[in-house]
Amino acid sequence: MLNMTNIKKIYRTDSIETHALREFNLQVDEGDFVAVTGPSGSGKTTFLNIAGLLETFDEGCFELDGVDISNQNDTARSRLRNQKIGFIFQSFNLIPDLNLFDNVDVPLRYRGFNRQERKKRIEQSLEMVGLAKRMRHLPAQLSGGQQQRVAIARALAGEPRFLLADEPTGNLDSSMAQSVMSLLKEINTNGTTIIMVTHDTELAAQAKRNIYVRDGKVSEITHSDQYAGDA
């Protein structure tokens, strides 16, 4: 359902060319939970941004749910992104002067859902992350782990098929990081495909597959022991 073949991505700034991805190959099937690890500067974020249709690429083939992305213009790409993809980041990117309810509402308004539908989705997704009782609170009234849960609720409210996470636990202490990871596993069990970039090898080991990126390429793929018994 996500299929990248020989993806090449070059950043050009001034006269300098950076080959961020070269011959990047990866297939991610529905229901997978992939952790992406690798050294700083190896191309992990670039991969995630291309997967999330935030960035274009120079060469290669990328199919998302059977759609050939290289044929899509900007408008088509943002429509696909809004329909299919949710994002979470290391910095939770919540709007500080909006309460939790309104933070989760932002992308739903953008997508034009009616008020009743938005309310239902907001309440369900805040319920899912255990913060329904605090929907009137401001982000600053929450711990970092709770703020990341709100960001997850905001991503889930759009009912994405893919959840893309860039260092989602990078600002959290280890117990909060584990609780966010447990939530992501639950979301994956409920059917959302997850791709997570992380430096945390303990968390990565809990995903279904580990993709190791080096020098802009996938250099190794391992299946987690935990899921080794699965068909």
Site for ligand ADP in 185-204 (CB under 6 A): none
The reply to whether 139 sits near ligand ADP by the rule CB under 6 A is no
Which residue lies nearer to ligand ADP by CB, 46 or 148?
46
Which residue lies nearer to ligand ADP by CB, 77 or 79?
77
- Pick from 37, 99, 192, 193 the residue near ligand ADP by CB under 6 A: 99
Q: How far is the CB of 231 from ligand ADP (least distance, A)?
A: 32
Residue 54 token pair: 């935030």
User: How far is Cα 213 from Cα 62, in angstroms, rounded to an integer?
Assistant: 18
Nearest to 159 by CA among 222, 225, 108, 93: 108
The reply to whether 42 sits near ligand ADP by the rule CB under 6 A is yes
- Pick from 26, 33, 37, 43 the residue near ligand ADP by CB under 6 A: 43
Judged by CB under 6 A, the stretch of 43-51, 83-91, 148-156, 202-210 that binds ligand ADP is 43-51
# residues near ligand ADP by CB under 6 A: 20
User: How far is Cα 149 from Cα 162, in angstroms, rounded to an integer?
Assistant: 17
SS3 129: coil
Site for ligand ADP in 105-134 (CB under 6 A): 115, 119, 123
Site for ligand ADP in 10-39 (CB under 6 A): 11, 13, 18, 20, 38
Tell the residue number behind the tokens 């044929």, with chain if given: 71
Sheet holding 193-197, edge to edge: 85-89, 162-166, 193-197, 33-37, 209-214, 217-223
DSSP 196-217: EE-S-HHHHTTSSEEEEEETTE
Which residue lies nearer to ligand ADP by CB, 59 or 102?
102
- From the number of C-beta atoms within 10 Å of its C-beta (0-12, 13-18, 19+), residue 89 rates as middle
Residue 77 token pair: 């790409």
Residues near ligand ADP, by CB under 6 A: 11, 13, 18, 20, 38, 40-46, 99, 101-102, 115, 119, 123, 135-136
